[in-house]
Structure 1
Amino acid sequence: MTVVLALGVCGVGTAAWAGSFTLYMVEQAGCIYCERWDAEVGDAYHLTAEGRAAPLKRIDLRAEVPEGVTFVRRPAFTPTFVLVEDGQEVGRLEGYAGEDFFWVLLEEMLTKAGATLE
């Protein structure tokens, strides 16, 4: 089985303050990579600097994007992690290839977006 992993930063924020970023995890029932993320990262995410900089919200692949939030394009597969600043997508990770890759790519995406990791 092939895992596609892509990192995209759609725009770069300037200054970040607490609470301005949200990380949306787009998932669907039966997604083995979503389950793997849950097992390897899920319980610890909110305890990390990344989790404090961009709290996680989950949405189903087939659900509408939350009101007031704009994604550059609709996610096509799961998991897709969409970084949103003030309602606008500023970056995305598509796929999950393991926790080592996830943390490195997430930190890079947050840094490029201007988030402060403390």
Structure 2
Amino acid sequence: MAYPALLASAFVAVSGVAAAAGDLQLLMFEQPGCIYCARWNEEIAPQYPLTDEGRAAPLRRLQLRDPLPGDLSLVSPAVFTPTFVLVEDGAETDRIEGYPGADFFWPLLAGLIAETAAD
């Protein structure tokens, strides 16, 4: 599938996610001095809550070295930053490790959200 078609299909899938999935959140594990976290904060963070993805999976920021909050269950701990973990009702469904740039981040996240909604 061509990249524009993949992006379009992921966008359509995410548009209806809120009704299909449980309580989704996107966890962002970060730490001071992380240059890729800073890049994500510049390129993605300002618009994230305004997007279909941001509405389907609101962002929750966590510090890498802090204890994991009791309401979350991960398959494995985050090891480096940034790590983005999609959780449904507090349980990990999938993750993106690292920040590959905006052109890759959006379709990757849309695909993860769509997969979670389809399950």
- Which residue of 2, 12, 21 corresponds with 1:16? 21
Residue identity matched to 1:99: A
Find out whether 1:100 has 2:111 as its counterpart. no
Question: Tell me, what secondary structure is at the counterpart of 1:46?
Answer: helix
Instruction: Give 1 or 2 for the bigger CA radius of gyration.
Output: 2
Gap runs ≥5 in structure 2: 1-19
Return the structure number with greater relative CO, CA threshold 8 A, min gap 6.
1
Q: Distance in 2 between matches of 1:114 and 1:33?
A: 28
CA shift, 1:65, in A, is 1.3
Matched-pair identity in %: 54
Moved over 6 A (4+): none
TM-score normalised to structure 1 length: 0.81
For 2:92, the equivalent position in structure 1 comes to 89
Matches within 5 A, 1:1-118: 15-17=20-22, 20-114=23-117
CA shift, 1:27, in A, is 0.3
Could you give the per-residue CA deviations for residues 10-33 of structure 1, whole angstroms, max 9, x where no partner exists? xxxxx415xx10000000000000
TM-score normalised to structure 2 length: 0.80
CA shift, 1:66, in A, is 1.4
Could you give the per-residue CA deviations for residues 45-82 of structure 1, whole angstroms, max 9, x where no partner exists? 00000000000000000011111110100011000000
Q: Number of paired residues?
A: 99
Structure with more of its chain in helix, by fraction: 2
Give the root-mean-square deviation of aligned CA atoms. Answer: 1.1
Q: Distance in 1 between matches of 2:59 and 2:68?
A: 14
Residue identity matched to 2:117: G
